Amino acid sequence: MEAHVNGKVLLNHATSLHLHTGNLVNRSRLKKKCPSSPSEELQDCIQATLSKWFATMPPTLEKEPPVTLDCSIPEETEAITAEEREELKVSVKIFLSDCDCSFIRSAVDMACHSLGVSKLDSVIVAPPPLPDGANQTLENLQPLWEELEGLVHSNKVTAIGTSDLDKALLEQLYNWAQVKPSSNQVNLASCCVMPPDLTAFAKEYDIQLLTHNDPKELISATAFQEAVQESTQDQQVADWALEWVLRYSLIVKSRGIIKSKGYLVHAKRGNL
């Protein structure tokens, strides 16, 4: 019960929230039920991390509640050591809630800090969901891509990629971009087989085609607020909104196995 009270106090005072789920590879071994989708997995992780953090937070926080809540469980998060960095590929995918390009840099900075690295090997960006019936355009993508290019030029990221572009749009982006896309994710729920024109274009220009099963909106505003509400038993969560979610994977290069994976989440509280 006390964790719920603490959570309410802190949430009502804070204006922003950073959350790191920690390594889900370890957590999933302990759980009997596997999540049915990436959305369910993320909602479960947010609720579990917040619940545990509120229950174990130091009492001093309640006396001086911070404006930004940094919610992570130290024993469940592990930074990469200098010795193992060469052996690991650090790949991330950033899901944006709107077209604020600064979210991309914030997410990359937080990932580097949380994982203890100076550079990410691969970053894929998932643009914000479009209204029903609207199609993605190069004009929508350009500001986001320029932000990614800046991260490559400043040596924070090695390779950058896209998500759910058809052949025509991928070609437009490739021809326009200074730093060319190294990968494009294709959702196999929308097409069971890779489109032949996309496959041919990707092969010609050395773009890796990857598959994924992420929904257009990784987690809805309602599902996020439900996760926060369940962790604190607080009804006053309607003013909290996600800005971005970053999913990371640490892959052992020589063996192709996932050593660690998890989510970083950033949310803001709007003005009442």
Ranges 132-136, 165-169, 217-221: which has the least confidence: 132-136
The structure's pTM equals 0.92
What is the total count of domains within the chain? 1
Asked, for residue 90, whether it belongs to a domain, the answer is yes
Asked, for residue 71, whether it belongs to a domain, the answer is no
DSSP class per residue in 18-51: EEE---HHHHHHH-SSPPSSHHHHHHHHHHHHHH
Asked, for residue 174, whether it belongs to a domain, the answer is yes
Match 């996760």 to its residue by tokens: 227
Asked, for residue 73, whether it belongs to a domain, the answer is no
Residue 126 sits in which domain range? 80-267
Asked, for residue 9, whether it belongs to a domain, the answer is no
Asked, for residue 226, whether it belongs to a domain, the answer is yes
pLDDT at 256: 86
Burial status of residue 144 (CB atoms within 10 A of its CB: 0-12, 13-18, 19 or more) = buried
Between residues 148 and 188, which one has the greater pLDDT? 148
243-263: average pLDDT = 93
Give the residue among 266, 218, 271 at the shortest CA–CA distance from 71. Answer: 266
Asked, for residue 63, whether it belongs to a domain, the answer is no
Mean residue pLDDT of the chain comes to 87
Kindly report, residue by residue over 32-41, the tens digit of the pLDDT.
556 678 889 9
Asked, for residue 208, whether it belongs to a domain, the answer is yes
pLDDT at 108: 97
- Whole-number percent of the chain with pLDDT over 70: 90
Kindly report, residue by residue over 73-113, the tens digit of the pLDDT.
877 777 888 888 899 999 999 999 988 899 999 999 999 99
| C-beta of residue 183 within 8 angstroms of C-beta of residue 162 | yes
What are the φ and ψ backbone dihedral angles of 163, each rounded to 5 degrees? -140, 130
